[in-house]
Structures are given as structure tokens and as C-alpha cells.
Amino acid sequence: MVGRLYGVGVGPGDPELVTVKAVRLIEAADVVAYHSARHGRSIARSVAAPYLRDGQIEEPLLYPVTTETTDHPGGYRGALEEFYADCAARLAEHLDAGRTVVVLSEGDPFFYGSYMHLHKRLAPHYLTEVVPGVTSLSAASAAAGHPLVEGDETLTVLPGTLPGDVLAERLRGADSAAVLKLGRTFPKVRQAFEDAGRLGDARYVERAATDRQRIASFAEVDAEDVPYMSLALLTSPAEQSFQAPPPERPEGPGGVTVVGLGPAGRPWLTPEAQDVLASATDLVGYGPYLDRVPANARQRRHPSGNRVEADRARHALLLARDGARVAVVSSGDPGVFAMAAAVLEAAAEDEFADVPVRVVPGLTAAQAVASRAGAPLGHDFCVLSLSDLLKPWDVVERRLAAAAEADLVLALYNPSSSRRRHQLPAARDLLLKHRSPETPVVVGRDVGGPGECVTVTTLGELDPEQVDMRCLLIVGSSMTRITDRGVVYTPRRYP
């Protein structure tokens, strides 16, 4: 008896969006196969993980290449053809042995899915069934809250890998459209939307139906932050032409609440902050931070750039003066190098004397990085920013020297950026005049986010080239210790 092959769609990322039939087949399978890049992490497997059982054979199918070049004699396509042939042969051995094989596919197996390459090779020889799944397109439309098509409208689905002029031509005549496979293609796709005169209508959805979901205006997205698992949407023209009336303002005076979002996603957000965000009529903030707040159709969102804090604060106060309940969002804690000071400074003007302002704290980046390393802030510590955009560098140096001489643990914000490269090496050299080269240093990057990385090194070994604007550094005192297990702590007692 030969086995049976199932291509099973597991949907866009939420395990609760896996169909009942898919769950039944996954749980009963003898063999579960899934594709992944060479790092070994599989989106499809992570979605199906709650439904796997002990004793199942797993067949990870690791791509030999993704976007890089290859020295395969057949080039990129030749390398993939050989890979698919090898994968099909591996699964055929299980099928010949009478085993039931389930190949997991994120989204739907026949919607730009890798499974179809195995299906072509195996379906002619074995009993095969394809189980559809919720597509990324459906999830994105649902997450954005915009219908795709209505009445007699047509939907155009395009891969971002098409030439830019072809994309622009297709978009120009489309009712509704979706462009998939962004990532490296994003600049070309954005230009195509602009050339088609449709940029202002497009929405951007990233990792729909996952805990890392992001929804934004396509025109405001930074190309550096776009992953492959994202898409652009042009939704129903009927929906776009419908102009909803402006939301009614609540009776009574408005106010401004400056809210700390914490260093990453919802698990780092306090219940008080969640309540403020949910009850606001208007949300104001730096665009990427505002994108972390789930969209709410009854709220107005006012994104702005990174270096217009004063204008942002004044805008929030003007909205509140007209009766709006405004939440101004900040990453981390709003009172630590963030928006609270800017709002309070603007609120001191006479025209805003009647506008109430309050601050709701958030978990700081320093606390988040410290928790990942152990307890390096267990004794007295100092928080400093190495940025010299708002204060002279000689002030930074004097404060660094004073904190170092006082033997305080230091939490260093804004250690480096693409345009500020000299500050961190200068700070390290200055600290080495007061601290041993063996002083423990914790480098935390994107803690709580998808790119989280925490490194424990020493002051003498610290490499500034490995540090960027998304990092925070903790430099230990003379008492800070690193255990044999790599845990960093500063004792509460000082001799």
C-alpha cells in the first residue's frame, strides 16, 4: 500500500485561522514536511505547531538559496529545480512505505505556494489532496478593514517581481489590486504606484494576522523596514469613494495623555496605557510608533516625522483644545528622552493653559535590555544619551566622565546612527580612563522585537561598528559581575 499526500494550507500566521480539516490532517499525519530558508525557521511549522504530536516524522525542506546568487551550473532556477526534485524524492520514499505525508504551506498551497512544485512531481503517481487555506491577501484585507471588491469590480493580483513599467500599467487600469512579494522589490513597487497615479490610495499590510502585524499608508512606509511577508493593497473603488462623516467629538473639554508603548509589542504595554489608547479620539506620534497601535476606525491618526517633536506636541494640544481626547505615543517611557517633555514644554504656553496634560509611563528600553541580561541595574545607575543633536558633545563628555568617576552603571541611549559614528568610540575611550577593560558591557538590539539580539562583552572588547540606533548599551560599574552562565548583575551592596 502506498501512502497519501496532502498539501495543507495553514493560513497567514494565526493558528486560529487554520481550518478544522487542516488540523485533523496535521494531527493524523505520519510525516509533516515544511519549507524554510537555511536558518531553519519555518512560518508554516510555527503556525501548525499547536497541532503536531509526538512521534511524527518531520521533514524540513531547506532552500539552497533564497535571494543570493549561486554557483550552480544551472543558475538560480537550476538550483531550485534540483532542490524540488530532491524534496520530491525524499517524500516519495515515505509514500512508497505507506506513510501519510502532509506538506505544510503558509497561506494557500496553490496561491504562490512552494507546495505546488512538489505537487507537479508527485500528484501523477500518488493519491493527492490539496486543502485550501486563508490567503495572505484575505488576511491583509481583513486586517486593514477595507473590502477588496464590490459588485462587478475586478481584482488584480500582481507579484512585485514584475518589471516596474508592467506593474504601473496594470495598476493604472485596475479596480482593486494587490501586489505581493515586497521586501527588496518595495522601491520599484512604490515607484510603480506613483507612476500609475495610485500611490495615495494604496495601503501597506505587513505580517497580517500575526502578533507582528503592521498596517500603514503605503506612501509613508520606509523601504528599509519592509519584509518579504508584506503586500500592498488597492481596495474597492466604491469603498474609497465613500466619504464617511467625521467622528463626533465628545462633549466637554478634551485633554492630552502622553503614553509609553514600551520597547516592543503589546505584551510590553501596560493595562493603563491600553485603556488610554482605546478611549482616545485622536492618536498622535512618530509614524513607526503609531503603526504599533492597532487601527481603530473611529479614531483619527496623525503620523509625523522623527524630528518634529515640538510641532507634534503643539498639534496634539490644538486638537485637545478643540475637544479631542488625544493620546501622544512614545516608544519606551514617554518621560525618558521622549515626548512627555516636549508636550509639557508646549503646554506651558498661555494659549494652552486650560488643556489638561498627563503622562502614562511605559517600560523603558534600559529595563528591557537589563532584564534580558540579568540584573546589571541592581545598584545605582545613570541614564545618558550619546546624541549631540540637542546638546553639545562637550556636555555629553563631562557627564560621562562624572558618571564614570562616580562608579555608576551607565545606560547609554542613542549610542550611534548612520550619521553619528564618532560618539561611541569617543565615549568608550573616555570610560576606559576610569574603568577596567574587563568591565562588563551589555549590548541590546531591538529587544522584544523580531530582530532581538543581546550580547555580553567587555569595555575593552566593545566593537562600535556592531552598534546602531536600535541598540542600547549598559556599561557596568567596578562591582558588576558576569557569572559562568553569562548572567550579568550588579550587587545591591557597595563596599
- What's the chain's Rg over C-alpha atoms? 27
* Structural domains of the chain, with CATH: 4-133 (3.40.1010.10), 137-239 (3.30.950.10), 255-363 (3.40.1010.10), 366-489 (3.30.950.10)
pLDDT for res 202: 92
pLDDT for res 241: 54
pLDDT for res 307: 77
Which among 184, 218, 182 has a CA at the least distance from the CA of 198?
A: 218
Residue 401, amino acid: A
Q: Backbone dihedral region of 312: left (phi > 0), alpha (psi from -120 to 50 degrees) or beta?
A: alpha
Residues linked to residue 8 through DSSP beta bridges, in sequence order:
104, 131
Beta carbons within 10 angstroms of residue 236's beta carbon: 19
Name every residue whose Cβ is closer than 8 Å to that of residue 210 and which is 6 or more positions away in sequence.
Answer: 12, 13, 14
pLDDT for res 225: 82
Q: Are 407 and 477 in contact (CB under 8 A)?
A: yes
Cell numbers found for residue 206? 505587513
pLDDT for res 22: 97
Cα separation, 195 vs 430, whole angstroms = 52
Name every residue whose Cβ is closer than 8 Å to that of residue 55 and which is 6 or more positions away in sequence.
Answer: none
Which among 455, 457, 437 has a CA at the least distance from the CA of 446?
A: 455
Which among 306, 308, 300 has a CA at the least distance from the CA of 254?
A: 300
Over the chain (495 residues), the average pLDDT of each successive run of 10 is 93 95 97 89 93 93 81 84 93 95 96 94 96 95 90 93 95 93 93 93 92 91 88 80 55 82 86 90 92 86 86 93 93 91 92 92 93 94 89 92 94 83 88 93 90 92 88 94 93 89
Cell numbers found for residue 77? 532556477
